[in-house]
Amino acid sequence: MAQARWSSVFTSSADEVWAVARQFNGLPDWHPAIRASEIAGGGNGLTPGAVRVLTGTDGSTYRERLVALDDADRSLTYEIVEAPLPVRGYRSTLHVQPVADIGGAFLSWHATFTPAQGTTAEEATTLLEAAYAAAAAGLRTIVP
Per the rule left: phi > 0, alpha: psi between -120 and 50, beta: everything else, 136 is: alpha
Spans of the chain below 50 pLDDT: none
CA pair distance 140, 103, nearest whole angstrom = 15
- Specify the pLDDT at position 107: 98
Note the pLDDT tens digit of each residue in 7-26: 999 999 999 999 999 999 99
> What structural domains and CATH numbers belong to the chain?
2-142 (3.30.530.20)
DSSP the chain: -EEEEEEEEESS-HHHHHHHHT-TT-GGGT-TTEEEEEEEESSSSSSTT-EEEEEETTS-EEEEEEEEEETTTTEEEEEEEE-SSSEEEEEEEEEEEEETTTTEEEEEEEEEEEEPTT--HHHHHHHHHHHHHHHHHHHHHH--
pLDDT, residue 108, reads: 98
Give the span between the Cα atoms of 40 and 89, in whole angstroms.
Answer: 20
pTM of the model: 0.94
The pLDDT, as a whole number, for residue 43 is 82
